[in-house]
Amino acid sequence: MSDYREMWQSLDMDLEKHDELCEVLPKFYSDIYLSQENRPEGMNYYNFVISEVHGLRIKELVNAKAENQKVVGTFCVYVPDEIINASNGISVGLCSGSDFWIPDGEKYLPRNTCPLVKSAVGAKVSGTCPYFQSCDMIVGETTCDGKKKAWEILDEHTNMYVMDLPQMKRKKDYKHWKEEIFEFSSELSKLTGKELTVENLSDSIDLINKKRETLQKLYEFRKLKELPISGKDALLITQIAFYDNIERFIEKTEALIDELEKRVKEKVSVFDKDTPRILVTGTPMAVPNWKLHHLIETSGGAVVCEETCTGTRYFENLVDNTGDTLDEKVEALADRYMGINCACFMPNNGRTDDIIRLHEEYSADGVIYYSLPFCNTYAIEAKQVMDALEAKGIPVIHIESGYSLEDAGQVKTRLEAFFEMLRG
Ligand code: SF4
Ligand code: SF4
């Protein structure tokens, strides 16, 4: 990485501590990603993005801020990127996937809080994440209890805005979410100085629909018998979609898709034919949480799909952009977002239906229900989902694991036994 120290300093970062973080990531990435054989050439772009994750992309954000754009950090796939983009904002998904930030998070939160929440708080209070430091506004949501309390803590350190997400899906809840989107938009326009209009929202919906369509096309390759791309690589691409420049991300991913088409014609596969195909469902995996995918794919399995917020929940379903008025367009946004099936909703049968459908669409052999420690929402929903899968004869195991690699051996043993059973 070139020397970005001056830039980091201007973002009020703790440079010494940040150096420690920068020392760990390259080796970690190289062990997990660069060790893979037979990767598509197009993955070089994503390697580059990660190698410059605290450098070039931050420089782009800093430059955009100098041109009067505003950087808006988000944590959840319910926060509508379309509104941020239409209002001259740049949306960045704030990664909270690193163990590095947990000790700082634990200075503010009880140990028995989910690692995603602890890592998010730790990243901000430690001043070691240039994305957090670049944000002009951070948008939280009232999804789970851990997050709600974390926003109160973060509010003392940054410009927090919280959207009130309903927890049921009745008609009045859709209406409420639509109102919340309007309120968010007017708050945002105070920050950016740009009002939401039919034209800018329409353009923004088209652009973000296009990004989602690109990811949909990418995932089509994971339905094939011969897989031209690993699950690890697909996960990385979806994670990068949360913070990369949208147009460039689409262009690079379309180029990769062309390469994958060629690979398919040439019958290039990154896994042996009898490798068990795995659908992962559960809590999101924020950068650099690549642990489960890495363990699966080095224990004899292949991840073919993720029913998670860093998977299909992020890009399935497009926004209907046919409405003529602002009201119709925001209503279409509310409809699309309320269609996401997160465990923080009740009832949430739609998620089980999605898992069963995706299991079939991706010809999965088995399902891994993944939850982060202390995530009650997903851990409690596990029983209901697993019972439904078992009733359909779909093999499933529940793996609860955090960011630390301490339990890697144990998880690997369980995975190997599961894959053995699937092969049998
Ligand atoms: S799991 Fe739920 S709360 Fe978490 S990012 Fe996804 S939708 Fe949001
Ligand atoms: S993983 Fe669970 S506990 Fe953690 S933020 Fe998401 S829903 Fe909340």
Give yes or no for a contact between 26 and 51, defined as CB atoms under 8 angstroms apart.
yes
pLDDT at 2 over 90: no
Q: Is the peptide bond before 347 cis (omega within 30 degrees of 0)?
A: yes
Token pair recorded at residue 76 = 């959840």
DSSP bridge partners of 139: 74, 161
CATH code of the domain covering residue 94: 3.40.50.11890
* Structure confidence at residue 118 (pLDDT): 97
Atom of ligand 2 nearest to the CA of 371: 1
CATH code of the domain covering residue 296: 3.40.50.11900
Q: Which of 194, 224, 245 is the last residue of a domain?
A: 194
Atom of ligand 2 nearest to the CA of 343: 7
pLDDT digits (tens, 9 = 90+) for 218-250: 999 999 999 999 999 999 999 999 999 999 999
Which residue has 């580059």 as its token pair? Answer: 48
Residues 183 and 100 in one domain: yes
Count of domains forming the chain: 2
Q: What share of the chain is helix, strand, coil (3-state, %, to 5)?
A: 55, 10, 35
Give, using CA atoms, the residue closest to atom 8 of ligand 2.
Answer: 144
Asked, for residue 323, whether it belongs to a domain, the answer is no
Burial (CB < 10 A; 0-12, 13-18, 19+), residue 294, is buried
Q: How far is the CA of 373 from the centre of ligand 2 (A)?
A: 9
User: 389: pLDDT confidence band, cut at 50, 70 and 90?
Assistant: very high
Q: Which of 169, 194, 219 is the last residue of a domain?
A: 194
Tell whether ligand 1 has an atom less than 6 A from the beta carbon of residue 341: no
Per DSSP, helices labelled H in 52-197 are 56-66, 81-86, 102-105, 115-125, 130-134, 145-154, 171-192
Mutate to test the pocket of ligand 1, among 313, 354, 369, 375 (most ligand atoms within 8 A of CB): 313
Tell whether ligand 2 has an atom less than 6 A from the beta carbon of residue 118: no
Token pair recorded at residue 37 = 């054989």
Asked, for residue 350, whether it belongs to a domain, the answer is yes
Domain residues for the domain of 396 are: 211-317+342-423
pLDDT digits (tens, 9 = 90+) for 89-141: 999 999 789 999 999 999 999 999 999 999 999 999 999 999 999 999 999 99
pLDDT digits (tens, 9 = 90+) for 32-45: 999 999 999 999 99
* Structure confidence at residue 1 (pLDDT): 54
State how far the Cα of 335 lies from the Cα of 339, in Å rounded to an integer: 6
Average pLDDT estimate for 183-211: 98
Asked, for residue 260, whether it belongs to a domain, the answer is yes
Give, using CA atoms, the residue closest to atom 7 of ligand 1.
Answer: 342
Residues 185 and 79 in one domain: yes
State how far the Cα of 281 lies from the Cα of 369, in Å rounded to an integer: 5
Asked, for residue 239, whether it belongs to a domain, the answer is yes
Per DSSP, helices labelled H in 319-375 are 326-338, 349-361
Residues 180 and 260 in one domain: no
DSSP H or E segment with residue 127: none
Q: What is the largest CA-CA distance in the chain?
A: 62
Q: How far is the CA of 245 from the centre of ligand 2 (A)?
A: 26
